[in-house]
Amino acid sequence: MTAQEVRLCGLLLREHFGEVVEKVGTHLLRSGAQNLRTIIHETGISLDLVKKSLCVLVQHGACVFSSGRKGPGSPTEYQASSDRILRILRYPRYIYTAKTLYGDTGEIIIEELLQRGHMTMSSNVKTVADRLTQNMEEGRSMDYSEVSSAFSNLVETHFLQRCPPLAGLGTTDASTPATPATPANPTTPSFPDCYKVPHMTLIGRGKRQLSSEDGEEQRNAKKAKLDSDTHGDEGIYWQVNFERFHLHFRDQAIISAVANKLDQTSSEIVRTMLRMSEVTTSPTATCTKPLSANEIFRSLPSSYNIPRPILDQYLTLLVDDPMEFVGKAGESGGGMYVVNLHRALANLARATLESVVQERFGSRSARIFRLLLRKRHLEQKQVEDFAMIPAKEAKDMLYTLLSQNLVQLQEIPKTPDYAPSRTFYLYTVNQLPTARMLLQNCYKTVANLIERRLYETKESKRLLEKSQRIEAILASLQASGAEPEQLTEVEEMITAPEKQQLEALRLHINKLDSAENQVDETIFLLESYVNSTATPAS
Amino acid sequence: MAGRGRGRRTMSFSIDAVGINRGDSLPPSMQQPTPLFPVMEQKPLPLAGGEEAEYLLALKQEFRGAMRSLPCFIQPTAAHRGQSHFHLNCVLCQTLEKKEEQESSEEEEGEEKKKQEEEEAEGEEEYDEEEFEEETDYIMSYFDNGEDFGGDSDDNMDEAIY
């Protein structure tokens, strides 16, 4: 974990869980696995608070516990991981995706699960139904079964998965997908290897119809404690399967890249191919299983009524395109085609790097950068010739890129004494290390954005508190039925310049938040690329 | 480190390669720290707007606000025994809560004892401080710095002061 990652994780923990959890979390990130006593001793926080913080971290998957390294009987050790904490940046995207795929119900299910970390299905369904009921008109309410079916849809498509059982000291194994369930009888909670075995039964707790009376009660008793009815699924906790969402994002990125580069029809063809390969492709596969042109033709959506020869032409175009999204794997069945997933990710990352260079240094520097990416190693003279840029400016640009570490210099000596006059100096770009460096820059950027937002909020704290108080007064006055004069009197307690200041503050904070979301998109692309190169080919 | 050649004025880099020619003046010396934000040659692109971006923004801000009101958000003052509304629906945490309640009753007794001890210790400390301040081996006027000297007689300025 780099310093930038730890800093960003600390800020995210602070914003979502408070400063105590931030201290404990960053300490664990920096020091590796530690037991409880050591944590208390080194952070200086009380036992009570450390325990609670560790609870929160474990519940949200940011920390795992395992038996001590000194063998059985040694105290439990806790270890935090930064990847899981960095996911917090992407939560809005997960929630939005669930909305597009499964509607409002799916959206609220994912949102509740992300807020709580782990939840049983029954408590999730209840909470979601309550929330949805509150937004409905008077007298209408949300049926539990509707929420349950949305939940099971999410599980079927692997967007949700079970948490590994807490019995013993098991390490979390978050990469196990959970396959579809048969709506069935409640199972016994003590299901041994449930995180290894893909089968998992959906807990059908008797179809409780949420009548309108119950709906109103639920609405009033918003802060009621969790009722102690058992629904047969105690001990079976669910969590969001981030990897599945990431696969979805990756597919979306590929499809939109094809749409931007070629046209809508090509992107629909690629979308069809990806959809057909969803269940047959493993998450770390280099490319999808080969699909024949006949199969693709049959599976195209009916709205795209293109004749068969045109489809073949489109496929040939896709194969010939330099972005190499689609490859040809054989001739049988009218031509076997695959989507090159890893190469697509590499090309998307490369496009990101080129775009970064272009926006920071101008289009001519970007031309040099692209040239070096294509030609690998070039001497200074060759760079000037190929890029068609005057020597003096080319030298300047190269040196700027070199000082920013986007371009590297490779020395090839002709003689063993490395004399400068007898050595080749070749410029080169290494895509993977450069992508890693930019990824760290992205983490630093987001951390800076968050800090700036916190600073802005702190600067205007007094004003914000005043406006909140006045809003509260207004709300209570309105509820108790006050006259409009009283209301305007209270509203005028905020002066016009203060209102302007508040408006400007709101605008700044929205900009900073929006920027964080956008940088996270870049982070996703670069991370996917870096991770795709790391996995060994199976 | 100052040149190895005896008396000869050589530098570790050749003067032409760096680009300084004869007769050129050195660049102006820096008289203040470098600017806080370096100058950008190109302006950055504007943020992507649109419905999706705004919806994501709203989701993000609502999520943050909602997290603050959940029990997962730990305030430093929440450690007061028996007052934390800390209900996590997590088996791990439920057993932890039970243990906490057991311990908190023990803690109460322990804390009272501690408070008594602390007061005694503080009393002793204060006593020690005063002791050290008053009992020195030197006369306090030893530590005078001479400010009071000569300010007494302002009447007869005719007399010379030796």
Of A60-69, A105-114, A348-357, least confident by mean pLDDT is A60-69
Q: How many CA atoms lie within 13 A of A192 on its CB side?
A: 0
State the pLDDT confidence band at B156, using cuts at 50, 70 and 90.
Answer: low
Only one residue has tokens 């045109």, namely: A310
Is the pLDDT reported for residue A212 higher than 70?
Answer: no
Here the tokens at position A504 are 């400007």
Give the whole-angstrom CA distance, residue A340 versus residue A360.
Answer: 30
CB pairs below 8 Å between A and B: how many? 114
User: Is A17–B64 a contact, with Cβ atoms under 8 angstroms apart?
Assistant: no
Is the pLDDT reported for residue B158 higher than 80?
Answer: no
Chain B residues in contact with A169 by the CB 8 A cut-off are none
Interface of A with B in 458-497 (CB under 8 A): none
Please answer whether residues A43 and A20 qualify as being in contact, where contact means their C-beta atoms are separated by less than 8 angstroms.
no
Q: Give the nearest chain A residue to B59 (CA atoms).
A: A92
pLDDT over 70, % of chain A: 86
In 3-state terms chain B splits into helix, strand, coil percentages (rounded to 5) of 45, 0, 55
Of A61-65, A87-91, A173-177, B62-66, least confident by mean pLDDT is A173-177
User: Is A226–B78 a contact, with Cβ atoms under 8 angstroms apart?
Assistant: no
**H-state helical runs in A32-76:** 36-43, 47-59
User: Is B53–A514 a contact, with Cβ atoms under 8 angstroms apart?
Assistant: yes
The reply to whether A16 touches chain B by the CB within 8 Å rule is yes
Is the pLDDT reported for residue B57 higher than 50?
Answer: yes
Interface of A with B in 183-212 (CB under 8 A): none
* Domains A87-165+235-240 and A359-433 alike in fold: yes
Element (H, E) at A261: helix A242-261
Q: What is the mean pLDDT of residues B131-160?
A: 60
Only one residue has tokens 């959906």, namely: A202
User: Is A116–B89 a contact, with Cβ atoms under 8 angstroms apart?
Assistant: yes
> Which residue among A91, A123, A514 sits closest to B57, beta carbon to beta carbon?
A514
Instruction: Give the per-residue pLDDT at A123.
Output: 84
Higher pLDDT, A130 or A506: A506
User: Is A19–B76 a contact, with Cβ atoms under 8 angstroms apart?
Assistant: yes
Higher pLDDT, B21 or A41: A41
- As a CATH number, domain A87-165+235-240 is 1.10.10.10
Q: Which fold has domain A359-433?
A: Arc Repressor Mutant, subunit A (1.10.10)
Q: Give the nearest chain A residue to B54 (CA atoms).
A: A514
Residue A78's DSSP bridge partners are A34, A65
How are beta strands A237-240 and A119-120 bridged, if at all?
antiparallel
What does the angle CA A494 – CA A497 – CA A503 come to, to the nearest 5 degrees?
85
Chain A residues in contact with B48 by the CB 8 A cut-off are 514, 518
Q: What is the mean pLDDT of residues A60-84?
A: 85
Residues of B at the A interface, defined by Cβ within 8 angstroms: 41-42, 44-45, 47-48, 52-53, 55-57, 59-61, 63-64, 66-67, 70, 72-76, 78-79, 86-93, 96, 100
Is the pLDDT reported for residue A137 higher than 80?
Answer: no
User: Is A20–B100 a contact, with Cβ atoms under 8 angstroms apart?
Assistant: no
User: Is B47–A96 a contact, with Cβ atoms under 8 angstroms apart?
Assistant: no
pTM for the predicted model, two decimal places: 0.76
- Chain A interface, best mutation among B45, B64, B90, by max A CB count within 10 A: B90
Instruction: Give the per-residue pLDDT at A204.
Output: 36
Q: Nearest C-alpha of chain B: how many angstroms from A103?
A: 14
CB neighbour list of residue A348: distance below 8 Å, 6 or more residues apart = A253, A254, A257, A525, A529
- As a CATH number, domain A3-80 is 1.10.10.10
Q: Nearest C-alpha of chain B: how many angstroms from A25?
A: 13
| Domain locations along chain A | 3-80, 87-165+235-240, 252-339, 359-433
Class of domain A252-339: mainly alpha
pLDDT tens per residue across span A80-119: 999 999 999 999 999 999 999 999 999 999 999 999 999 8
User: Is A55–B90 a contact, with Cβ atoms under 8 angstroms apart?
Assistant: yes
Is the pLDDT reported for residue A201 higher than 50?
Answer: no
